[in-house]
């Protein structure tokens, strides 16, 4: 329990920061790099469909695709078969067949941005097409503005 007003203020500011950063909604920023991609399947284009049930318990939803061996296994919210697969095989990167097709690295304990990381882009696009029947929308990338130094050059030539 907070006993001083400064402590209470720090608590309030911390909650406000969480709201500003999206913690209240559950949103997290995905990583744009990962050191654990060397074990990815060499053929990311031929993957099971998003409606494939868990290979172990046959649960029909909340399943993940192992991007190393292409096994489809259920999430930690069902029977934790993908987590067990990682613990037994050390296959660390998986794609969620849930609504958002997010990619998770078990070693980094972080989501990965599959549209930015080149090694993940093709498998994410294939999964998107299999799930939604169309190519994913093109994501715009903002580049830093380059100033035109020649416009400031008044010395003439």
Per-residue model confidence (pLDDT) at position 98 = 87
| Residue 70 to residue 40: CA distance in whole angstroms | 9
Whether the pLDDT of residue 110 is over 70: the answer is yes
Average pLDDT of the segment spanning 11-24: 42
Average pLDDT of the segment spanning 28-46: 90
For the stretch 48-83, pLDDT in tens is 999 999 999 999 999 999 999 999 999 999 999 999
Q: Are the C-beta atoms of 104 and 96 separated by less than 8 Å?
A: yes
CA 65 to chain centre: 13
* CATH class given for the domain over 27-133: alpha beta
Where residue 100 falls among pLDDT bands split at 50, 70, 90? confident
Return the number of other C-beta atoms located less than 10 Å from residue 116's C-beta.
14
Consecutive H or E run containing 128: helix 118-132
138-148: buried (b, 16+ CB within 10 Å) or exposed (e) per residue? eeeeeeeeeee
Question: For the whole prediction, is pTM greater than 0.75?
Answer: no
Average pLDDT, the chain: 82
Q: Is the dihedral angle over the CA atoms 61, 67, 70, 74 positive or is it negative?
A: negative
Whether the pLDDT of residue 8 is over 80: the answer is no
């Amino acid at each position: 329990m907070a006993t001083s007003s400064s402590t209470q203020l720090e608590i309030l500011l911390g909650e406000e920061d969480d709201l500003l950063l999206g913690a209240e909604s559950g949103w997290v920023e995905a990583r744009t790099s990962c050191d654990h991609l060397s074990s990815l399947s060499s053929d990311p284009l031929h993957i099971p469909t998003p409606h494939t049930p868990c290979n172990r318990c046959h649960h029909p939803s909340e399943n993940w695709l192992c991007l190393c061996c292409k096994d489809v296994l259920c999430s930690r919210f069902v029977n934790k078969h993908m987590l067990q697969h990682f613990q037994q095989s050390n296959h660390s990167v998986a794609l969620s067949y849930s609504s958002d097709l997010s990619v998770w690295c078990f070693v980094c304990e972080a989501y990965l941005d599959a549209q930015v990381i080149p090694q993940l882009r093709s498998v994410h696009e294939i999964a998107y097409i299999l799930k939604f029947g169309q190519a994913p929308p093109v994501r715009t990338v903002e580049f830093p503005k380059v100033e035109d130094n020649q416009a400031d050059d008044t010395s003439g030539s």
